């Protein structure tokens, strides 16, 4: 499979964790105030953790924008010691080359987590593999606009580049597709709080809620399917 790699350069964020700058889209993959802390604030605290406080024994997650793999790794870290099965589907059309992955310093001092980080990046595209006995990962290499699978997710981590860089990924049609792939109830979480994006979410059927954003961002957004 001949997959072209994303052209990126390494940057350091304020919490000490590395991120990448996209030469293709002229933007960073994470907040410069902290890659790890931003992902935890948006996707783990607001997306995953509320589900872990329920009686569910199995959770399905869709991630739009696999990127550096940080959201996947933080999800693995959060459920390592929990008696729950995770089915994780990550979508990406512009993967990162392994040389850049090796320069990312997420949990480098934790040998087990660092090994899992390498494992998820070396996993084949479009194949389902058990990263851990209770964590099933499928990485989908295709355009987000063409993504459609017959599963129903509990939560969608919507982590595409912003509407300024990729306006085609924040449309009503995209969110209608996301809505159809969520369970009832289900939710979509994103760092973005743009007005038109929220109107598109509402038009697609979501109940839209604003929550405090990370660092210098006033808000983040949750779209509820209830």
Task: Indicate the burial class of 88 (C-beta count within 10 angstroms; 0-12, 13-18, 19 or more).
Answer: buried
pLDDT of residue 53: 86
pLDDT of residue 201: 98
Residue 127: Cβ within 10 Å count: 10
Class of domain 8-225: alpha beta
pLDDT of residue 1: 62
Q: Angle at Cα 162 formed by Cα 197 and Cα 48, nearest 5°?
A: 80
Q: CA gyration radius for the chain?
A: 16
pLDDT of residue 3: 77
pTM of the complete model beyond 0.75: yes
Would you say 157 and 61 are in contact if contact means Cβ atoms under 8 Å apart?
Answer: yes
Would you say 49 and 89 are in contact if contact means Cβ atoms under 8 Å apart?
Answer: no
Domain boundaries in the chain? 8-225
| Angle (deg, nearest 10), helices 111-122 and 70-79 | 130
Q: Which residue numbers in the chain have pLDDT < 70?
A: 1-2
How many residues does this entry show for the chain? 226
């Amino acid at each position: 499979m001949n997959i072209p790699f994303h052209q990126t350069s390494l940057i350091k964020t304020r919490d000490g964790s590395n991120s990448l700058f996209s030469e293709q889209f002229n933007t960073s993959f994470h907040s410069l105030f902290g890659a790890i802390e931003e992902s935890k604030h948006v996707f783990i605290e607001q997306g995953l953790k509320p589900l872990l406080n329920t009686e569910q024994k199995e959770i399905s997650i869709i991630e739009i924008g696999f990127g550096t793999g940080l959201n996947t790794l933080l999800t693995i870290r959060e459920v390592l010691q929990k008696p729950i099965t995770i089915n994780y589907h990550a979508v990406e059309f512009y993967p990162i080359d392994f040389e850049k992955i090796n320069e990312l310093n997420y949990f480098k001092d934790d040998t087990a987590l660092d090994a899992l980080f390498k494992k998820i990046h070396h996993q084949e595209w479009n194949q389902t593999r058990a990263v851990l006995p209770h964590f099933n990962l499928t990485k989908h290499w295709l355009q987000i606009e063409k993504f459609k699978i017959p599963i129903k997710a509990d939560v969608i981590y919507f982590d595409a580049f912003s509407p300024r860089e990729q306006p085609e990924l924040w449309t009503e049609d995209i969110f209608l597709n996301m809505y159809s792939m969520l369970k009832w109830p289900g939710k979509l979480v994103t760092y973005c709080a743009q007005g038109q994006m929220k109107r598109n979410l509402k038009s697609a059927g979501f109940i839209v809620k604003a929550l405090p954003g990370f660092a210098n961002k006033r808000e983040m957004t949750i779209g509820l399917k209830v």
